[in-house]
Amino acid sequence: MKKRLTLAALFFLTFGLTSMACAETVRLRYSNFFPPTHVQSKLAEQWCEAVTTRTNGAVVIDYYPGGTLSKAKQCYDGTVEGISDIGMSVLAYSRGRFPVMAAVDLPLGYTSGTQATAIANAVYTHFTPREFRDVQPMYFHAHGPGLLFTTDTTVATLADMTGLKIRSTGNSAKLVKALGGSPVAQPMPTSYQSLQKGVVDGSMNPIESNKGWKLAEVVKHCTVSIPVAYTTTFFVVMNKDKWNELDPATQQIIQEINAEWSVKHGQAWDEADAAGKAFFTEKGGQFTELDTAEAEAWVTAAKPVIDEYITSKQGKKVHGDAVVTFIQNEMTRTQ
């Protein structure tokens, strides 16, 4: 009889502990607009797996790539509202909403994704902008030098930009206008079709997009305008209520993973740039280098974009001059 009671007690104890473990498991949904085959999507999925592994299953994440849970432009609000618990998308898709971080995307002459990613995270850490008060930021990452790609026109001078319709967003759209082109605001997932059908004459994007989004199949020319190269900042944020539901130990584990993954994303952007360059060349794409005088002309033309940010209402509100100076100092330090 005693043996039966002991076995029964063990059974109920084991069952109870299992039930408690299940009850304590937090299940989250992660929305990402990158297609599942894109390296940035693969890294996001690996982040999910790392969180589950290192929290010993306390956090399990269902991953939704390709905009299947929320589209690129709606991703941030979708995370705030709880459509997703975690989201990755582009800050520039919500123009004017993130005034401090918007400075990162200015045409300041970025040379790599590693550099741009380090700067994006440094800006957030240094200024801790209130623009993210409705979410819990995980980390930021940013692509390598954003350059001009065109379908039929070789752009070697500012005069060549006149009248060209260029897909661009955020500060890259302002850059296109400053250089004499006509910006057309479109998210990356629509770029291929727009270029293929002639809706736009070109696109501002990193070299990696030639392979990551297959744009090398529809563009033929690249203007290597490094002196005015911009970047695009991507966010990974979590619903604030969901974050607050996690215990401090779990939060610490996730923050440690975030620090590792932001570096991985920056490195991946650079590796993808190399692959995109090779794919662009393979498809017959041609690179056009700006000569010294022309490069200086592009820098002069682009300067009002930086000045406008600093002197604008939002720039004054967030001390834009201090933000830009901080970024320029970081750029010098990370070169």
pLDDT (average), residues 97-105: 95
Place of tokens 């299953």: 57
Identify the band that residue 233 occupies on the pLDDT scale cut at 50, 70 and 90. very high
pLDDT tens by residue, 11-56: 444 444 343 344 489 999 999 999 999 999 999 999 999 999 999 9
Q: What is the mean pLDDT of the chain?
A: 92
Integer CA distances (angstroms), 134 to 35, 79, 164, 255, in order:
27, 10, 39, 18
Taking each helix axis from N to C end, the angle separating 292-311 and 320-334, rounded to the nearest 10 degrees, works out to: 140
- Of the candidates 76, 188, 92, 93, the one whose C-alpha atom is nearest the C-alpha of residue 137 is 76
Identify the band that residue 318 occupies on the pLDDT scale cut at 50, 70 and 90. very high
Identify the band that residue 188 occupies on the pLDDT scale cut at 50, 70 and 90. confident
Q: Which residues fall within 8 angstroms of residue 330, CB to CB, at 6 or more apart?
A: 118, 119, 122, 123
- Of the candidates 58, 70, 4, the one whose C-alpha atom is nearest the C-alpha of residue 26 is 58
Contact 209, 147 (CB under 8 A): no
Q: Which residues fall within 8 angstroms of residue 155, CB to CB, at 6 or more apart?
A: 148, 161, 164, 202, 221, 223, 288
Question: What amino acid is encoded at 217 in this protein?
Answer: E
User: CA 287, CA 201: separation in Å to the nearest integer?
Assistant: 16
CA 65 to chain CA centroid, nearest Å: 14
Contact 212, 39 (CB under 8 A): yes
**What phi and psi, each to the nearest 5 degrees, are found at residue 295?**
-60, -40
Q: Are strands 165-167 and 135-142 parallel, antiparallel or unpaired?
A: unpaired
- Taking residue 21's Cβ as centre, other Cβ atoms within 10 Å add up to 12
- Of the candidates 207, 227, 241, the one whose C-alpha atom is nearest the C-alpha of residue 106 is 227
Contact 211, 276 (CB under 8 A): yes
- Taking residue 279's Cβ as centre, other Cβ atoms within 10 Å add up to 19
Q: What homologous superfamily does CATH list for 27-143+232-273?
A: Bacterial extracellular solute-binding protein, family 7 (3.40.190.170)
State the pLDDT at residue 16. Answer: 41
| CATH code, residues 146-230+287-334 | 3.40.190.170
- Of the candidates 189, 187, 163, the one whose C-alpha atom is nearest the C-alpha of residue 176 is 163
pLDDT (average), residues 124-152: 97
In the beta sheet, which residues pair with residue 88?
A: 32, 236
State the pLDDT at residue 193. Answer: 97
The count of residues in the chain is: 335
- Taking residue 282's Cβ as centre, other Cβ atoms within 10 Å add up to 11
- The three-class DSSP label of residue 287 is strand
Looking at per-residue pLDDT, the higher value among 205 and 92 belongs to 205
In terms of pTM, does the model score above 0.75? yes
Q: Are strands 26-32 and 59-64 parallel, antiparallel or unpaired?
A: parallel
| CATH 3.40.190.170 placement within the chain | 27-143+232-273, 146-230+287-334
